[in-house]
């Protein structure tokens, strides 16, 4: 077959890439099928490897033949013959695009074929997923295909220790959740011996559910914190806050994102605590504790923003409807919620390091991805990752019917209509999947359905461990599944049940009834999230239908419709069916989408500077880790101490490592202090806007000035420590000088809009991400 050296240039990687070229190349792959069918397994591998050039870049020179070989291997190892559209998806990802493929089109196989293509080029690949369950499932499922081509593979499990992780990262193809990989990067940036690093850098990131990982998750940086005694509100202050009355002692903003202490409230606290003024210097941090307790009491809602399980507070990841494992709130807020719930108040924490998803993915020279809703996120993917989107047509045209929204004035009317609708549809035997905004809403709806005689499965952050099994059953006749919006992504809903196929009685019955019916309770702030829910119906040409129930009291409408007026007359059943009402709902959603994009852009500007500074610190860390620079500096500045240590006969390698640990301790501690300083700057940055200064410019000015002294200060402290420390054949005793490492680490749920110029405290900004 003719060579395809022209392939790379012809394919390009633009949003307007000609899909006809992709189909032509896949058509060429079809012509090779008969030839490959008679080949041995070894021949298939040799043919695939022959498609890779021997130039430095090891580019793909014969894409059609490579695709044909991978298709044949998938048929032999997985019993799955990839559709043409799946080959097109893999082709576009090998170019470096994010592909949009409908739910049920087999993106897992597309990702595995892409990994094979890159793996054969000698590139190490990380297949990045939204959670560890999917990472483990996909690695196990697609493993035989990777084995066929001699590619080693593994998955990063949540419970895996450093040694196991280290071994997995050395393999050719690694499957892992984005947070697991991110925290491994952060922990590796705290090591004092190079051999303790667990992560081996990779060349390519193949990102599953790319919009969720690269857009939704990118709003909240991954932050590693270490245990440190913290100042949460005392039990007495929590009790005082419970006795306060809204509109007298405090006020809550209309969007319930900020709470403000009134003058009467301040006097109430002062009388109760016997202090002259909350604002006096000798009042300590009482004012801060009161504000934090007010936020915990009135802005953070149990079963919406967090759960209480096993005697502890567990945060809920707003974008996925799942428990955010090992995450805490900063600034005393975690302790405030624990006090509010009557739980044991845990220590606070010190931020050790942080990284955004953008910075994490920036570590990969090449990126590509796949999702069912990429087009709606194309602006963000292009702006923040320089990635283009390719739309892959479904293998079988969709037959899903998306009904116009049912809009009501109040949430109460909306909920009553939702329940009536579900009861009516379920009575026909058609399966129903209901998407809610949060845990509390899912449970309230399920309870109301039970009272109407409808049994349902509830899937939310409280039982996310079984989500794949529950969601797979959602296509059975008469089944009603109530779920937070993101639950079950990555798991197919087959009509008739997990093994449903045409010809089986339950499958055919559901098809006759119209397929899966999806009901959305409230529209989300992004049409993309709505479309993710809609996409659960109409899998691979199956019939299906969707409808959303909306009220004018919904969060998306109240935020996006601020300052707008709408006049409409409800129909007899309370529904607002006028066209202008539907247009108003769409307008509100476009506004909130714009707000989210602005927040994302602002967050990126802020974190870009931190990432640049972190890169400078990393370069210094690498020099200390990989050379004797620390020993050379410290021994030069205290020749007498260095000579005494050498005279004692202490091994030179021990002295080098002792110096390294001293230098790295102070460098890491200064970096942690720098992050804390930047957090303080964020709290007051809105005051710069009031003074007509640009918040982002002022933040840059302050942070750059502070960073300039960081390394010099770290070196000066390291020299003092070297002179004072006890160093023996066992190493350096830093604990003896009170220089302790954190005994535990966790991640923080942090502010998504650090440079908000509209005023308000950082606590208000933190609370806002949970609305």
Is 108 annotated in some ligand binding site? yes
User: Hunting for tokens 């033949």 — which residue is that?
Assistant: 65
C-alpha atoms less than 13 angstroms from C-alpha of 176 in its C-beta half-sphere: 27
Closest CA to 49 of 160, 191, 151: 151
* Phi and psi angles of residue 174, each rounded to the nearest 5 degrees, phi first: -120, 125
Closest CA to 525 of 489, 550, 488, 491: 550
Distance CA 391, CA 395 (A): 12
User: Hunting for tokens 């929590």 — which residue is that?
Assistant: 238
Angstrom CA distances, 100 to 210, 371, 707, stand at: 9, 5, 42
Q: Are 265 and 273 in contact (CB under 8 A)?
A: no
b/e 16-27 (16+ beta carbons within 10 angstroms → b): ebeeeebbebbe
Is 106 annotated in some ligand binding site? yes
Closest CA to 586 of 620, 617, 550, 542: 550
Distance CA 116, CA 49 (A): 11
Distance CA 704, CA 708 (A): 6
Is 105 annotated in some ligand binding site? yes
b/e 456-492 (16+ beta carbons within 10 angstroms → b): bbbbbbbebeebbebbbebbbbbbbbbbbbbbbbbbb
Closest CA to 223 of 641, 493, 703, 614: 614
Distance CA 714, CA 710 (A): 6
What is residue 139's three-state secondary structure? helix
Give the count of beta carbons closer than 10 Å to the beta carbon of residue 562.
11
Q: Are 62 and 51 in contact (CB under 8 A)?
A: yes
Closest CA to 535 of 548, 526, 544, 524: 544
Distance CA 340, CA 721 (A): 42
Instruction: For the chain, give the number of residues.
Output: 771
> Residue positions in the annotated binding site?
86, 104-108, 492
> Residue positions in the annotated binding site for ATP?
86, 104-108, 492
């Amino acid at each position: 077959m003719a060579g395809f050296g022209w392939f790379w240039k012809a394919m390009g990687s633009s949003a307007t890439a000609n899909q006809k070229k992709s189909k032509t190349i896949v058509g060429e792959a079809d012509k090779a099928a008969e030839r490959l069918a008679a080949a041995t397994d070894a021949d298939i591998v040799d043919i695939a490897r022959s498609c890779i050039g021997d130039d430095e870049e090891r580019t793909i020179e014969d894409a059609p033949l490579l695709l044909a070989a991978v298709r044949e291997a998938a048929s032999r190892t997985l019993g799955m013959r990839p559709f043409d559209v799946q080959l097109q998806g893999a082709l576009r990802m090998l170019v470096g695009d994010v592909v949009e493929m409908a739910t049920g089109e087999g993106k897992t196989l597309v990702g595995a074929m892409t990994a094979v293509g890159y793996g054969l080029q000698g590139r190490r690949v990380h297949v990045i997923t939204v959670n560890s369950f999917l990472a483990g499932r996909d690695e196990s499922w697609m493993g035989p295909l990777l084995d066929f081509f001699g590619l080693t593979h593994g998955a990063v499990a949540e419970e895996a220790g450093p040694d196991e992780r280290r071994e997995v990262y050395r393999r050719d193809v690694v499957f892992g959740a984005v947070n697991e990989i991110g925290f491994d990067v952060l922990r590796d940036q705290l090591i004092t011996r190079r051999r303790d690093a667990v992560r081996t850098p990779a060349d390519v990131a193949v990102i599953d559910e790319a919009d969720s990982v690269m857009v939704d998750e990118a709003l909240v940086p991954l932050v590693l914190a270490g245990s440190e005694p913290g100042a949460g509100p005392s039990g007495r202050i929590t009790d005082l806050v419970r006795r306060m009355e809204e509109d007298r002692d405090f006020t809550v903003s209309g969007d319930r994102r900020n709470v403000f202490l009134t003058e009467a409230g301040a006097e109430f606290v002062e009388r109760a605590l016997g202090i002259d003024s909350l604002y006096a210097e000798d009042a300590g941090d009482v004012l801060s504790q009161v504000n934090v307790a007010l936020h915990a009491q009135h802005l953070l809602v149990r079963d919406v923003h967090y759960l209480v399980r096993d005697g502890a507070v567990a945060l809920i990841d707003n974008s996925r409807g799942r428990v955010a494992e090992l995450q805490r709130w900063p600034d005393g807020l975690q302790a405030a919620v624990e006090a509010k719930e009557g739980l044991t108040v845990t220590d606070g924490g010190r931020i050790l390091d942080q990284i955004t998803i953008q910075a994490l993915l920036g570590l990969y020279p090449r990126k590509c991805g796949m999702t069912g809703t990429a087009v709606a996120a194309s602006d963000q993917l292009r702006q923040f990752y320089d990635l283009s989107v390719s739309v892959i047509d479904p293998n079988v045209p969709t037959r899903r019917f998306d009904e116009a929204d049912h809009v009501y004035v109040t949430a109460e009317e909306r909920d009553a209509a939702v329940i009536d609708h579900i009861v009516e549809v379920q009575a026909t035997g058609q399966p129903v999947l209901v998407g809610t905004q949060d845990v509390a809403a899912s449970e309230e709806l399920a309870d109301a359905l039970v009272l109407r005689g409808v049994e349902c499965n509830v899937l939310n952050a409280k039982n996310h461990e079984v989500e794949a099994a529950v969601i797979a059953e959602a296509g059975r006749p008469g089944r009603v599944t109530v779920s937070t919006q993101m639950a079950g992504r990555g798991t197919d809903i087959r009509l008739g049940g997990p093994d449903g196929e045409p010809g089986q009685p339950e499958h055919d019955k559901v098809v006759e009834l119209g397929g899966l019916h999806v009901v959305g309770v409230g529209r989300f702030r992004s049409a993309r999230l709505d479309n993710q829910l809609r996409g659960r119906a109409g899998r691979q040409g199956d019939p299906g239908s969707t409808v959303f129930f909306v009220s004018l009291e919904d969060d998306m409408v109240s935020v996006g419709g601020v300052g707008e007026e709408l006049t409409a007359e409800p129909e007899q059943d309370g529904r607002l069916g006028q066209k202008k009402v539907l247009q108003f709902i769409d307008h509100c959603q476009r506004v909130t989408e714009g707000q989210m994009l602005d927040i994302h852009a602002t967050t990126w500007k802020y974190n870009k500077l931190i990432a640049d500074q972190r890169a400078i610190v990393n370069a210094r860390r690498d020099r200390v880790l990989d050379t004797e620079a620390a020993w050379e500096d410290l021994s030069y500045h205290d020749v007498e101490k260095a000579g005494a240590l050498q005279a004692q006969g202490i091994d030179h390698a021990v002295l080098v490592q002792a110096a390294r640990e001293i230098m790295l301790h102070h460098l890491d501690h200064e970096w942690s202090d720098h992050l804390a300083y930047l957090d303080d700057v964020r709290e007051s940055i809105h005051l710069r806007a009031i003074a007509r200064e640009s918040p982002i410019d002022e933040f840059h000015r302050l942070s750059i000035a502070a960073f300039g002294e960081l390394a010099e200060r770290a070196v000066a402290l390291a020299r003092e420590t070297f002179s004072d420390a006890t160093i023996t054949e066992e190493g350096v005793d830093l604990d003896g000088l009170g220089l302790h490492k954190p005994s535990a680490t966790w991640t923080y749920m942090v502010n998504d809009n650090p440079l908000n110029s509209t005023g308000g405290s950082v606590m208000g900004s933190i609370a806002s991400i949970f609305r």
